[in-house]
Structure 1
Amino acid sequence: MADASNHRDIEFPTPAAPGQEAILTPAARELIADLHRRFEPQRQALLAARRARQARLDAGGLPDFRADTRSIRESDWRVAPIPAALQDRRVEITGPVDRKMIINALNSGARVFMADFEDSTSPTWANLVEGQVNLRDAVAGSISFTAENGRHYALKPDAATVLMVRPRGWHLTEKHALVDGHRVSGGLFDLALFALHNAAALAARDRGPYFYLPKLEAMEEAALWDEVLAFLEVRLGLPIGAMKVTVLIETLPAVFEMDEILHALRARIVGLNCGRWDYIFSYIKTFRRHADRVLPDRSQVTMGSGFLSAYSQLLIRTCHRRGAFAMGGMAAQIPISGDPEANEKALARVRADKEREARNGHDGTWVAHPALIPVAQAVFDQHMRGPNNLAVAREDASAARDALIAPCGGSITREGFQANVDVCVRYLAAWLDGLGCVPINHLMEDAATAEISRAQLWQWLHLGDQVFEDGAAVDFAWFDAVLARVPQRLPESGLPGQSKIPEAMALLSELTRADELADFLTLPAYERI
Structure 2
Amino acid sequence: MNKELVNLAYGLKFDGFWKPELEDVFSTDALKFIRVLDQKFGTERKQLLLERKLRNENWYQQKPEFPKLTQSIREGDWKVAPVPEDLQDRRVEITGPVDRKMIINALNSGAKVFMADFEDSNAPSWANIVFGQLNLFQAVRGTIELIDEERGKEYRLNSETATLMVRPRGLHLEEKHFICDDQAVSASLFDFGLYFFNNAQALVEKGSGPYFYLPKIEYYQEAAWWNEVFNFSEAYLNLKPGTIKATVLIETINASFQLDEILYSLREHSAGLNCGRWDYLFSYIKRYKEHPDYIFPDRDALTMETDFMRAYSRRVIQVCHKRGAHAMGGMAAQIPIKNDPFTNEAAYAKVRADKLREVEDGHDGTWVAHPALVPIALEIFNERMPESNQIAKQFPEYQIAAEDLVAKPQGQVTEAGLRKNISVGIQYLAAWLSGQGAAAINHLMEDAATAEISRTQLWHWLHRKVQLSDGRDLSRDLFERFYHEELSLLETEINPQWKDRLRTAARSFHQMVTAPELKEFLTTELYHTLT
* Match in the other structure for 2:225: 224
Alignment partner of 1:479 is 2:479:
yes
Q: SS state of the match for residue 290, structure 2?
A: coil
| Deviation of the 1:289 alpha carbon | 1.1
Q: 8 Å contact 1:121–1:127 — kept in the other structure?
A: yes
Q: SS state of the match for residue 160, structure 1?
A: coil
Change (3 A) 1:500 1:18: farther
Q: 8 Å contact 1:116–1:165 — kept in the other structure?
A: yes
Q: SS state of the match for residue 242, structure 1?
A: coil
Q: 8 Å contact 1:99–1:145 — kept in the other structure?
A: yes
Amino acid at match of 1:456: Q
Provide the C-alpha distance between the structure 1 equivalents of 2:97 and 2:354, rounded to a whole number of angstroms.
Answer: 24
Q: SS state of the match for residue 496, structure 2?
A: coil
| Deviation of the 1:57 alpha carbon | 1.6
* Match in the other structure for 2:12: 10
Q: SS state of the match for residue 58, structure 2?
A: helix
| Deviation of the 1:81 alpha carbon | 1.3
Provide the C-alpha distance between the structure 1 equivalents of 2:5 and 2:39, rounded to a whole number of angstroms.
Answer: 16
| Deviation of the 1:290 alpha carbon | 1.2
Q: SS state of the match for residue 291, structure 1?
A: coil
Q: 8 Å contact 1:6–1:30 — kept in the other structure?
A: no
| Deviation of the 1:10 alpha carbon | 0.5
Aligned pairs for 1:152-191 (under 5 A) are 152-191=153-192
* Match in the other structure for 2:35: 33
* Match in the other structure for 1:410: 411
Change (3 A) 1:2 1:220: farther
> What does the per-residue CA deviation read over 1:323-381, in whole Å, with 9 as the maximum and x for residues that have no partner?
00100000011111111111111001000000100100100000001111111111111
| Deviation of the 1:496 alpha carbon | 3.5
Alignment partner of 1:468 is 2:476:
no
Gaps (5+ residues) in structure 2?
Answer: none
Q: SS state of the match for residue 231, structure 2?
A: helix
* Match in the other structure for 1:201: 202
Q: 8 Å contact 2:169–2:191 — kept in the other structure?
A: yes
Amino acid at match of 2:450: T
Amino acid at match of 1:7: A
Q: 8 Å contact 1:17–1:129 — kept in the other structure?
A: no
Higher mean C-alpha deviation, range 213-222 or range 473-482? 473-482
Provide the C-alpha distance between the structure 1 equivalents of 2:378 and 2:352, rounded to a whole number of angstroms.
Answer: 10
Change (3 A) 1:334 1:4: closer
Provide the C-alpha distance between the structure 2 equivalents of 1:18 and 1:346, rounded to a whole number of angstroms.
Answer: 45
Alignment partner of 1:326 is 2:333:
no
> What does the per-residue CA deviation read over 1:491-522, in whole Å, with 9 as the maximum and x for residues that have no partner?
45643321100001110111111111100011
Q: SS state of the match for residue 67, structure 2?
A: coil
Amino acid at match of 2:47: A
* Match in the other structure for 1:115: 116
Provide the C-alpha distance between the structure 2 equivalents of 1:259 and 1:157, rounded to a whole number of angstroms.
Answer: 38
Q: 8 Å contact 2:144–2:157 — kept in the other structure?
A: no
| Deviation of the 1:148 alpha carbon | 5.1
| Deviation of the 1:6 alpha carbon | 5.6
Provide the C-alpha distance between the structure 1 equivalents of 2:149 and 2:485, rounded to a whole number of angstroms.
Answer: 34
Provide the C-alpha distance between the structure 2 equivalents of 1:251 and 1:148, rounded to a whole number of angstroms.
Answer: 44
* Match in the other structure for 1:385: 386
Q: 8 Å contact 1:17–1:125 — kept in the other structure?
A: no
Amino acid at match of 2:193: A
Q: SS state of the match for residue 198, structure 2?
A: helix
Q: SS state of the match for residue 69, structure 1?
A: helix
| Deviation of the 1:479 alpha carbon | 1.9
Q: Normalised by the size of structure 2, how large is the TM-score?
A: 0.97
Amino acid at match of 2:154: Y
Amino acid at match of 1:158: S
> What does the per-residue CA deviation read over 1:190-215, in whole Å, with 9 as the maximum and x for residues that have no partner?
00100111110101122111111111
| Deviation of the 1:56 alpha carbon | 3.0
Q: 8 Å contact 1:247–1:271 — kept in the other structure?
A: yes
Q: Normalised by the size of structure 1, how large is the TM-score?
A: 0.97
Amino acid at match of 2:34: I
Q: SS state of the match for residue 102, structure 2?
A: helix
Gaps (5+ residues) in structure 1?
Answer: none
Higher mean C-alpha deviation, range 63-72 or range 110-119? 63-72
Q: 8 Å contact 1:249–1:255 — kept in the other structure?
A: yes
Runs (4 or more) in structure 1 with deviation over 6 Å come to none
Amino acid at match of 2:484: A
CA RMSD of aligned residues (A): 1.4
* Match in the other structure for 2:66: 65
Percent identity of equivalent pairs? 48
Amino acid at match of 1:190: D
Provide the C-alpha distance between the structure 1 equivalents of 2:5 and 2:120, rounded to a whole number of angstroms.
Answer: 30
| Deviation of the 1:14 alpha carbon | 3.0
Provide the C-alpha distance between the structure 1 equivalents of 2:162 and 2:152, rounded to a whole number of angstroms.
Answer: 22
Q: SS state of the match for residue 497, structure 2?
A: coil
* Match in the other structure for 1:337: 338
Q: 8 Å contact 1:429–1:496 — kept in the other structure?
A: no
Provide the C-alpha distance between the structure 1 equivalents of 2:153 and 2:472, rounded to a whole number of angstroms.
Answer: 55
Amino acid at match of 1:411: Q
Amino acid at match of 1:427: Y
Amino acid at match of 1:196: F
Provide the C-alpha distance between the structure 1 equivalents of 2:13 and 2:142, rounded to a whole number of angstroms.
Answer: 31
Aligned pairs for 1:369-448 (under 5 A) are 369-448=370-449
> What does the per-residue CA deviation read over 1:450-480, in whole Å, with 9 as the maximum and x for residues that have no partner?
111010000111123x111001011221221
Alignment partner of 1:294 is 2:295:
yes
Q: SS state of the match for residue 246, structure 1?
A: strand
* Match in the other structure for 1:304: 305
